Chain A
Amino acid sequence: MPVVKLYANLRKLAGTKELSLAGQTVGMVVRGLVEQHPSIKDVVLEGSELRPHIIITLNGHNVTDLNISVSEQDVVAIFPPIAGG
């Protein structure tokens, strides 16, 4: 199963830094995540869409299309809105 890595306040909300979740697309993995950890849902999703400024990467590449396919060895990273410099 793809590995999902969580960052910043998503860790506290989910109670974990990392988990494995089934899913054939990034969108399915994200939906699986919020089902397993409902406390994250309002931070990540607005209805069925990603909230503004939520960042998702697939193997280190930004994802803008939730329909993109994922495979067993993939790493999906999810960041809440972050900033700095």
Chain B
Amino acid sequence: MNGWSGKILDIDLSTKTYKTYPLDMEMARMFIGGRGLGARLLWDLVGPGIDPLSPENVLIFTNGPLTGTGYQTSNRFSITTKSPLTGTVLDANSGGFWGMQFKKAGYDVMIVRGKSERPVWIEIKNEVITFHDASELWGMRVFALTEKLGQNNNKRNVLCIGPAGENLSRIAAIMNDRERAAARGGPGAVMGSKNLKAIVVEGKERTTINDPEKFKFLLYETRKLLAASPLTSQALPEFGTVVLMNIMNNIGALATRNHQQTQFEGAEAISGEELTEKYLVKNAACWACPIGCTRISKTEKVEAEGPEFESTWAFGAQCGIDDLPAIIEVNALCNDLGLDTISAGSTIACAMELSEKGYLDSDLRFGRADQLAPTVEAMAYRKDIGAELSDGSLRLATKYGHPELSMSAKGMEMPAYDPRGLQGQGLLYATSNRGGCHMRGNMIGLEVLGLPKLIDRFQVQGKSAFVILNQNSNAAIDSLVICKFTNMGVADEYFARVLGAVTGIQYATGELIKTGERVWNLERLYNNREGFTAKDDSLPPRLLTEAPTDGPSKGWVSQLEPMLKEYYRTRGWDQNGVPTLKKLADLGLANLVQE
């Protein structure tokens, strides 16, 4: 077998037992790996109505056929589960080294079921699986734990939760390799609910390649393509992702103070340019990545990875804070506690607005950088005001009678891009299968950066086709599993050639994107089965009714309704947002609803 290891590791924490069995290769061909394979397995393993924090939920770790081959950015892995934040299907993926090591251990998939009676950590050395008592590790933070369990980037890799996951915060991340995060949607809480503190992997197996000569040539060609692109060879390495801060502010699409404004007067102070000039120590890169967008930043108090654009925005513009050292420090604190930075920052912003308007009795106020770290700390431990914020903004705002002040879609906090100035991005948030997210698809390339071509960001008619293409493409890339930044220098269809060289299975032109469409529709089916309907494809009322009073997006609200109608039609779904039998048959999914 080439590309895939062909093996699933299935662990039951309730009995501390495990078994291995062959990967269904027809399933692998249809869903590839990563997010796609995870969604297909979740469909069978976690039926409707299961409490995400109960032992009946599972964690599915998946890599892909390219993982560990050395193909550029083939380091990533996915974690699929039912989200405790949104109740939807959830896939969160992460880079670093752990995914590559997990593949070297000889598995495509690891399913973790049940719940251990006592805290436990798992050690995987190829076919040797050991359950260790984690009672003494329970309570440890991520950085110290990662070191204690012997993190060694190319040999032994640690994945774990911090206090936030232990305390079942619904915005808790699963961390790997110290500062990489599978963050969104609360997978850390699922791991915490199973009393599972860490998974450490060491592997010796090599992924076999069907056509090594062709693969070597594709590696060479990809290296040239990435080097030729100013995006992957200059922009990302030089300034990192935070370089987007100034342009989003410039065009009036930088959500500010819980989306009350669309421009932030302090944007320059928290920009990529400022980070690079004053706080950047050096760049870093994930395994097999020639791009190297990771920042190592330093303040008087910390030296740590990041912050990325979204984290900087969440604790910056969204909280009305222009203190970059405080943002660098709270970003590192989130990583150490195992919290999703986007949801944490946006939940604090929601609390700030609730407090300023007198709905919540707290001293949280926009612009107060000194409140960031103590609030995040309290969230991870569910202490004081943190207990109110620990499960995200929607639960907080609903408790205090103002759910409309949660800037979330399907209960997941949205990222930085304000949909009033970016119509396609709004449609994307509303239809995202895991909630308000920019990684299920991202229209910023098309609507702002001109990648690959600039389209009118205020245009409504015809936007759905671009959004759908983007979503399908992202689902395919997440199923490979590689970094989306690679796609800035290398076209989608090129990846089909790489997949063919590695696996020996030839994916025809368009088949890779159709795989993405299959994954998207399967995720939709999962959410439909959980009771989600067209009503859930929405945005906060503020974005639909309150137009900015100044700036380049002045006068605009999200025109979601007409875009949604067009979206359902273009997707081949009925007017209630349910995939039609014809569409499912075309994608090879009809059997799932006819069982």
CA distance A57 to B457 in the complex (A): 13
CB distance from A57 to the nearest CB of B (A): 6
Q: How many residues of A contact B (CB 8 A)?
A: 21
Q: Which of B421-451 contact A (CB under 8 A)?
A: 438-439, 442, 444-445, 448-451
Please determine whether B250 and A84 come into contact, CB atoms closer than 8 angstroms: no
Residue on B with the closest CB to A79? B247
Please determine whether A8 and B241 come into contact, CB atoms closer than 8 angstroms: no
Q: Known contacts A8-B273, A83-B449; is A60 also within 8 Å of B235 by CB?
A: no
Apart from A8-B239, A11-B273, A60-B250, 4 more pairs, CB < 8 Å: A9-B234, A80-B235, A84-B293, A85-B438
Q: Mark A16-42, 1 if CB is under 8 A from B, else 0.
A: 000000000000000000000000000
CB distance from B187 to the nearest CB of A (A): 20
Residue on B with the closest CB to A75? B250
Is A67's beta carbon under 8 Å from chain B? Answer: no
Please determine whether B488 and A83 come into contact, CB atoms closer than 8 angstroms: yes
Contact residues of A: prevailing secondary structure: loop
Please determine whether A8 and B238 come into contact, CB atoms closer than 8 angstroms: yes
Please determine whether B241 and A85 come into contact, CB atoms closer than 8 angstroms: yes
- Report chain A residues within 8 Å CB of B246: 7, 79
Please determine whether B309 and A84 come into contact, CB atoms closer than 8 angstroms: yes
CA distance A85 to B449 in the complex (A): 12
Contact residues of B: prevailing secondary structure: helix
CA distance A85 to B235 in the complex (A): 12
Is B225's beta carbon under 8 Å from chain A? Answer: no
Checking A53, A84, A85 against B230 with a beta-carbon cut-off of 8 angstroms, the contacting residue is: A53
Q: How many residues of B contact A (CB 8 A)?
A: 41
Please determine whether A82 and B450 come into contact, CB atoms closer than 8 angstroms: no
CB distance from B107 to the nearest CB of A (A): 29
List A residues at the B interface (Cβ < 8 Å).
5, 7-9, 11, 53, 55, 57, 59-62, 64, 77, 79-85
Is B7's beta carbon under 8 Å from chain A? Answer: no
CA distance A68 to B244 in the complex (A): 25
- Report chain A residues within 8 Å CB of B449: 53, 55, 82-83
Please determine whether A83 and B251 come into contact, CB atoms closer than 8 angstroms: no
Is B480's beta carbon under 8 Å from chain A? Answer: no
CB distance from B450 to the nearest CB of A (A): 6
CB distance from A79 to the nearest CB of B (A): 6
Residue on A with the closest CB to B249? A60
A–B Cβ pairs within 8 angstroms, 10 of them: A7-B246, A7-B273, A8-B239, A79-B246, A80-B234, A83-B232, A83-B488, A85-B310, A85-B438, A85-B485
Please determine whether B250 and A85 come into contact, CB atoms closer than 8 angstroms: no
